[in-house]
Chains A and B, each alone.
Chain A
Amino acid sequence: MIVVDRVTKYYGSACAVRDLSFSIEEGQCIGFLGLNGAGKSTTLRLLSCLLLPTSGRVTIRGLDVEESPDEIRKFIGYLPDTPPLYGEMTVEQFLSFAGRLRGMSADDVNHRMDEVLAVCALKEVRKKAVSALSHGYKQRVGIAQAIIHRPALLILDEPLQGLDPVQIVEMREMIRGLRGKHTILLSTHMLAEIEQTCDRILMLSRGRIAAEGSEEDLANRFGHAGATLELDVRGEADAVRLALEGVGGVKVTDVTATGQMLRVRVSTEGEVREEIAKRIVDAGLGLRGFRTSSAGLENIFVRLSKETESAPSAANAPAASEEAPS
């Protein structure tokens, strides 16, 4: 659906993304992960027809963004890091305006309205002025305006920014609910979000792709960086430590009591999950939960970011300091 071919974008003399190439299939949910200034927002703005690449080519559904921007804009829904909202309108008025602006008829908007209000949990505030809503609701209205016209491509730039934990959970559920209906591009620096929502991760660092693949792919490829597992165990902390003592490459990093249970974090090297489970069960402890912690992705992310920053080779030269081509 999306093909980004050797795209470079300069702002004046500063390079925001350099020689970026990737492709995305229809229906995928892609997470763009990176530190501030890594080039996530620039990449999403390039795909939203808000920026032209300095060099390279971006095609969406076979259409070039330079040649057919208006055609592409019809099937894109975009939520920037600050939701573009008209405060004086009610939620319904605003969504109707956004839908009609993307070419929907008044009848089509009316038919779609209830569905979108339900998906974004906005029914109870449909008649309220947007300016009177809480930050969480405003963010939902931001997503609602991006999906009202049933876009094939949904681009969400930092959709969880500024939300409290409850709102984050609600927003995550909402975004999960949109999977399958749209191709979703999501940028965030919240690792847990990427893990729980996306099929594939593009890690950006200094305007380049530092790594890409599913979380598992990344763990396998960069496994030596160490994955972190999180276990919910019924039993004593000492017994857990003792049970895992002999497993090669495994180190218990943290044990926290949560009621009758223990939450155990272990750093691992290589594929040792079966062995860990066996040891816990053989020791007579109850294994209630077993998952890869976001810290695994975090380790890979931190390592790759550091590697990119510290590698001054031609391929990884600090992009932002380079001069723009004349």
Chain B
Amino acid sequence: MRNVWLIAKRELGVYLRTPAGYLITAGLLLLDGLAFNVFGVGSSPKLSSAVLQDYLYFAFGLTSVAAILISMRLIAEERQTGTLTLLFTSPVKEHEIILAKFGSALVFVTVMNLLTIYIPLLIFVNGKVSIGHIAAGYLGLTLQAATVLAIGVFGSAISWNQLMAGVVTALIVALLVLLWMVARVTEPPLNKIISYLALFQGHFQSFQRGILRVSDLIFYASIIFFALLASTRVLQSQRWR
């Protein structure tokens, strides 16, 4: 854990010492605010819970994009600049590198998301939504961010540069989000399996509605675990090449 903390601390420092972290945060806050005003509040009267659900719908997309932007550099940048050699020639295990990268990025995205908490609080103060609904929605956003980051770590591990890492991650995430379309045109029982894998329709929607289901938690945890495991295996194979 010592090495995980060391590497994670350095990673967090990158967000604070370079403009990238501030730019992504500013972008997310601006777009979340806009989405809330334009699509959440809108011009026609709505129930408070519908406003919150609409806001969470857009926050799902924006958080996913922010997580892709943050994760694309995690390993690919180290490979491009040659600093991966420093980690590879140190007594550090591959899973420690992966956990540190993932953990630091998750902390950063979570802090970013928490900065947007004023939006649901506005609904809470001026309307009628439960704290539980807000908490479930933000737990869903955090799990979504963690899933995209884990996939992003994998994309970054298999890519030679950051751009390629971003594209690979975006493609995998887009595929997982859009699987519900594939489920529509496939026969049972295959469509059930495919729709189970769909990120938004299959799992985030319940968080969006303020419902906490163990099956959704297990789904997100499984994707995160397998993406991180695959990333570790990729690093292990690259370390000796």
- Looking at the assembled complex, report how far the CB atom of B17 sits from the nearest CB atom of chain A, in whole angstroms: 4
**Residues of chain A contacted by B30 (CB below 8 angstroms):** none
Give the one of A51, A82, A84 with max B CB within 10 A: A84
B89 touches A89 (CB 8 A): no
Chain B, interface size: which category? 20 to 34
- Report if A290 contacts B (CB, 8 A): no
A89 touches B10 (CB 8 A): yes
B83 touches A73 (CB 8 A): no
**Residues of chain B contacted by A84 (CB below 8 angstroms):** 81-86
B86 touches A98 (CB 8 A): yes
- Report if A305 contacts B (CB, 8 A): no
**Residues of chain B contacted by A83 (CB below 8 angstroms):** 82
**Residues of chain B contacted by A52 (CB below 8 angstroms):** 240
Q: Kindly specify which of A100-108, A244-252, A272-280, A295-303 makes contact with the partner chain.
A: A100-108
- B88: nearest chain-A partner, CB-CB: A50
Give the one of A74, A86, A102 with max B CB within 10 A: A86
- B93: nearest chain-A partner, CB-CB: A70
- A71: nearest chain-B partner, CB-CB: B91
A83 to B7, CA, bound (A): 18
B18 touches A88 (CB 8 A): yes
B85 touches A73 (CB 8 A): no
A101 touches B87 (CB 8 A): yes
A78 to B3, CA, bound (A): 19
**Residues of chain A contacted by B14 (CB below 8 angstroms):** 86, 88
Choose among B13, B88, B91, B93 the residue that contacts A102 (Cβ–Cβ < 8 A): B91
A78 touches B91 (CB 8 A): no
- A51: nearest chain-B partner, CB-CB: B240
- A62-88 near B? 1/0 per residue, CB < 8 Å: 000000001101101010101111111
A50 touches B239 (CB 8 A): yes
A85 to B18, CA, bound (A): 15
A85 to B78, CA, bound (A): 10
A85 touches B89 (CB 8 A): no
- Looking at the assembled complex, report how far the CB atom of A266 sits from the nearest CB atom of chain B, in whole angstroms: 44
- Report if A174 contacts B (CB, 8 A): no
A139 to B14, CA, bound (A): 22
B85 touches A101 (CB 8 A): no
B241 touches A78 (CB 8 A): no
B17 touches A73 (CB 8 A): no
User: Main SS of the interface on chain A?
Assistant: loop
A73 in contact with B86 given A101-B3, A101-B6 (CB within 8 Å): no
- A66: nearest chain-B partner, CB-CB: B240
A88 in contact with B13 given A51-B240, A70-B91, A100-B6 (CB within 8 Å): yes
- A87: nearest chain-B partner, CB-CB: B81
A103 to B14, CA, bound (A): 22
A76 in contact with B89 given A86-B83, A88-B18, A97-B10 (CB within 8 Å): yes
- Looking at the assembled complex, report how far the CB atom of B91 sits from the nearest CB atom of chain A, in whole angstroms: 4
Give the one of B3, B17, B86, B90 with max A CB within 10 A: B86
A103 to B91, CA, bound (A): 8
**Residues of chain B contacted by A152 (CB below 8 angstroms):** none
**Residues of chain B contacted by A88 (CB below 8 angstroms):** 13-14, 17-18
A85 touches B239 (CB 8 A): no
- B63-90 near A? 1/0 per residue, CB < 8 Å: 0000000000000000001111111111
Choose among B17, B92, B239 the residue that contacts A101 (Cβ–Cβ < 8 A): B92
A74 in contact with B17 given A50-B239, A84-B83, A101-B86 (CB within 8 Å): no
A80 to B87, CA, bound (A): 12
A50 in contact with B87 given A88-B17, A100-B6 (CB within 8 Å): no
- Report if A49 contacts B (CB, 8 A): yes
* CB interface residues, B 201-237, toward A, < 8 Å: none
What 17 additional pairs, Cβ within 8 angstroms, besides A78-B85, A86-B83? A50-B89, A51-B240, A52-B240, A70-B93, A73-B89, A76-B89, A80-B85, A82-B82, A84-B81, A84-B83, A85-B81, A88-B17, A88-B18, A98-B86, A100-B6, A102-B90, A102-B91
Which A residues have a C-beta under 8 Å from some C-beta of B? 48-52, 70-71, 73-74, 76, 78, 80, 82-89, 93, 97-98, 100-103, 145
Which B residues have a C-beta under 8 Å from some C-beta of A? 3, 6-7, 10, 13-14, 17-18, 81-93, 239-241
Task: Name 6 A/B residue pairs within 8 A (Cβ), A-sorted.
Answer: A70-B93, A76-B89, A86-B14, A93-B13, A97-B6, A101-B3
Pairs of residues from A and B, 7 with the lowest C-beta to C-beta distance, nearest first: A84-B86, A70-B91, A88-B17, A73-B91, A101-B90, A82-B82, A84-B83
